[in-house]
Amino acid sequence: MNTPIWDERDWRPLPQLTGTVRADVCVVGLGGSGLAALEELAALGVTAIGVDAGEVGGGAAGRNGGFVLAGLAKFFNETVAEHGETAAAALYRMTAREIERWAEEMPAVVRITGSLRIAADAAELADCQKHLAALRYCGFTAEPYRGPEGEGLLLPTDGVMQPLERVRALAQRLRQREALLYENSPVRKIVPGVVVTDGGTVQCDSVIVAVDGRLDEILPELSGRIRTARLQMLATAPAPEVGFTRPVYYRHGYEYWQQLPNGSIALGGFRDHALQQEWTADAEPTEFIQGLLEQFLRERLKVTAPITHRWAASVGYTSDGLPILDEVQPKLWAVGGYNGTGNIVGALCARAAARLACGQRSPWADALELARTHRVKVH
Ligand SMILES: Cc1cc2nc3c(=O)[nH]c(=O)nc-3n(C[C@H](O)[C@H](O)[C@H](O)COP(=O)(O)OP(=O)(O)OC[C@H]3O[C@@H](n4cnc5c(N)ncnc54)[C@H](O)[C@@H]3O)c2cc1C
């Protein structure tokens, strides 16, 4: 138990860091975000070293639902209401572009299928209409939807991916470009210019910590702004009895599922049914949430195929609903806190941190700052 359905192939472990190494930048965390930072740093011609406590994609990045969604975790109409139309539209546009880029870059791993937001009740259906109106007003594509899944919205530019395959492919690509990546090298201490792991030390000019859940364990100064939660999923053997052609987001996104190319169902959700227990850094599945997922799978989705996988992982939620992209100490950047939807947003935050660490501007960081300032002014 606690193995994601995505772990299909063997992975040749990367070395552990030993001794002292030097680079311009050290990236802590080899999930989708840390690897995106390393890609950006390579493009900027900067030397970088990446370290991870476990394996590449061993955190949420390789254990998630595989949805690639435009926008922040909050739906677009809520983002407009809280953070202003200019910032919301700029952020949405950049996430949609990132999805296109991913699908072009790795078409076998990332597919643009569109996604469905399905309402659980009349109040949510009314919110779907507001969501649709806000997207269309800002020039984004969305359609009302009614089908076997229920009623709501179709967002044609969203997609799905095999998340673990993608991060492993990114790591391999970086290694082919001679990037130094180390697994099983937990960071114990970060002081300006030095990152200390169990087996070795990185000397560097800047550090980027790209960790979503448990970020506050590495950087306790963020503990008032980010909280770690557990999210849980299960998956089945191929289920020819159902046919979901698009990933589905249900009940404000609390439940989410997709049918994989081989017919298996990957389903997650119900965190809010045990909210206190799920605010935890423990990443083991629980009987209670797994029971709810199983009931939903059988009764709502009508899937009869056997359950083959159950798993969980940690993510970070922020108090203002915006991701963290901060220089927490001079030359020490932190990114994380994607509020449950970090595949695309995490990569954009990490690439922005890489640019900022190199003294470059970042349109993503500018738009996030605009969103943050708007919220502070209004609330
Ligand atoms: C069940 C589940 C379903 C989800 N579904 C979706 C979805 O469908 N779509 C979506 O967009 N998002 C989804 N998310 C959220 C998304 O997975 C995360 O926001 C995203 O993957 C975060 O990636 P990351 O690289 O920032 O962080 P992580 O994947 O958390 O990677 C951080 C890495 O840092 C390493 N690390 C931690 N501490 C240390 C240390 N001290 N020293 C060295 N390394 C350290 C970890 O080992 C880990 O590999 C889901 C999350 C979960 C758990």
Distance 212 CA to ligand 1 centre (A): 5
Among 117, 343, 351, which is best to mutate for testing ligand 1, by the most ligand atoms less than 8 A from CB? 343
Instruction: List all residues 6 or more positions away from 191 whose beta carbon is below 8 Å from its beta carbon.
Output: none
In eight-state DSSP terms, residue 195 is E
Task: Quick: pLDDT tens for 238-294.
Answer: 999 999 999 999 999 999 999 999 999 999 999 999 999 999 999 999 999 999 999
| Radius of gyration of the CA atoms of the chain, in A | 20
Q: How far is CA 371 from the centre of its chain?
A: 19
Q: What sign does the dihedral 66-71-75-79 (CA atoms) show? A: positive
Q: Please state the rounded mean pLDDT for residues 216-232.
A: 96
Over 80: is that where the pLDDT of 379 sits? no
pLDDT tens-digit map of 63-108: 999 999 999 999 999 999 999 999 999 999 999 999 999 999 999 9
- Tell me: pLDDT of 375 over 80: no
Whether the pLDDT of residue 377 is over 80: the answer is no
pLDDT at 313: 98
Using an 8 Å Cβ cutoff, are 341 and 73 in contact? yes
* Surface-to-core class of residue 328, CB atoms within 10 Å of its CB (0-12 exposed, 13-18 middle, 19+ buried): middle
Closest residue by Cα to residue 371 from 135, 86, 73: 86
Q: What is the pLDDT of residue 9?
A: 84
Which atom of ligand 1 sits closest to the CA of residue 197?
42
DSSP 8-state class, residue 231: E
pLDDT in tens, 244-255: 999 999 999 999
- Closest atom of ligand 1 relative to the 186 alpha carbon: 42
Distance 61 CA to ligand 1 centre (A): 4
Predicted confidence at residue 192, as pLDDT, reads 83
Average pLDDT value over all residues in the chain? 97
d(CA 97, CA 91): 10
| Residue 266 CA, ligand 1 centroid: distance in Å | 17
Ligand 1 centroid to residue 137 C-alpha, Å? 33
